[in-house]
Amino acid sequence: MSDSKQFCTFFINGLFFGIEVLKVQEVIRYQEMTSVPLAPSTIRGLINLRGQIVTAIDLRRRLELPARGEDQLPMNVVVRTDDGAVSLLVDEIGDVVEIQDDVRERPPETLRGVARELVTGVYKLKERLLLVLDTEKTVTLTAA
């Protein structure tokens, strides 16, 4: 019996990403945000999650992908981290997928830049590649 894991998946700029389901606290639709002046541009702002103040990180900016269109409202994938909940802003939410660990591959060489550091593994699914993100690394921003 090989190990299998569940991933919460989402799309960013057409790419298919996943985060281990256990790390995900919840997925919520777009929330109004308060921007934080002087903060790194990766941080889109602060949202009020039922009385809890949560930092929202724009994954497009974090992964150095082109900016989202003005009319396109991002979704929040709220993940649990060592420093409390953090929201990751993504384009669109996918399904929760269960994957056998043996389809796991190393990140392809074509994956470059920041993405290479944040993607811990790649799973080859039928239609597409799933890029799995390391949440702790993703929410740790080096001095901007």
Partner 1 sequence: MPLNDELQQQLIKDLLIESTEGLDRFDREMLVLEKGQGTPETLNVIFRVIHTIKGTAGCLGLPKIESVAHVGENLLDTLRGGKLTTTPEMITTLLAYADALRAMLNNLENTGNEGSADYSILLQQLQDFQTGKSPSSSAAPAPAPAPAAKQTWGLFDDESAVPAVPVAVVASIPPAPDAPPSTPSAPPPPPVLVENAGVEKEGAARGHSVSDSAIRVDVGQLDKLMNLVGELVLARNQIVQFTNQAQDATFINASQRLNNITTELQEGVMKTRMQPIGNIWAKFPRVVRDVSLELGKSVQLVMEGKETDLDRTIIEAIKDPLTHIVRNAIDHGIEMPDARRAAGKPEEGVLILRAFHEGGQVNIEIMDDGHGINVARVKQKAVEKGLVTPENAARMSDRESFNLIFLPGFSTAEKITNVSGRGVGMDVVKTNIEKIGGSVDVHSEAGHGSTIKIKIPLTLAIIPALIVTSRSERFAIPQVSLLELVRLEADQAKKGIEMLYGAPVYRLRGQLLPLAYLNKELALDPSASAPAAPGTTDARGSEAAAVNIVILQADGRQFGLVVDEINDTEEIVVKPLAKQFKGINCFAGATIMGDGKVALILDVLGLAQHANVINEVRDRSLTDKVKTDGRASDRQTLLLFDVGAGGRMAIPLSMVARLEEFPRSQVERSGSQEVVQYRGQILPLIRVADYVRAAAGADSQGGDLMQVVVYSEQGRSVGLVVGSINDIVEESVTVKRDAAGDGILGSAVIQNKVTDLLDVAAVIRSADPSFYRAEAGAAPDLKVA
Q: What distance lies between CA 107 and its chain's CA centroid?
A: 16
From candidates 27, 28, 46, 111, binder to partner 1 by CB under 8 A: 46
Backbone Cα Rg of the chain: 15
Instruction: Supply the minimum distance, in Å, between the C-beta of residue 72 and partner 1.
Output: 22
- Could you report how far apart the first and last alpha carbons of the chain are, in Å? 45
Instruction: Supply the minimum distance, in Å, between the C-beta of residue 135 and partner 1.
Output: 13
Q: How many residues bind partner 1 (CB under 8 A)?
A: 26
d(CA 112, CA 117) in angstroms, rounded, equals: 8
Q: Name 140's Cβ contacts closer than 8 Å, sequence gap at least 6.
A: none
Q: Does 47 bind partner 1 (CB under 8 A)?
A: yes
Q: Does 32 bind partner 1 (CB under 8 A)?
A: yes
Helix (H) or strand (E) run with residue 62 in it? helix 59-62
Q: Does 137 bind partner 1 (CB under 8 A)?
A: no
Count, in order, helices (H) and strands (E) of the chain.
3, 11
From candidates 4, 35, 72, 100, binder to partner 1 by CB under 8 A: 35
- The closest of 33, 18, 54 to 135, measured between CA atoms, is 18
Pick between residue 1 and residue 144 the one whose CB is nearest to partner 1: 144
Instruction: Supply the minimum distance, in Å, between the C-beta of residue 82 and partner 1.
Output: 9
Q: Does 119 bind partner 1 (CB under 8 A)?
A: no
Contacts with partner 1, residue ranges (CB under 8 A): 32-40, 43, 45-48, 51, 53, 55, 57, 83-84, 86, 139-141, 143-144
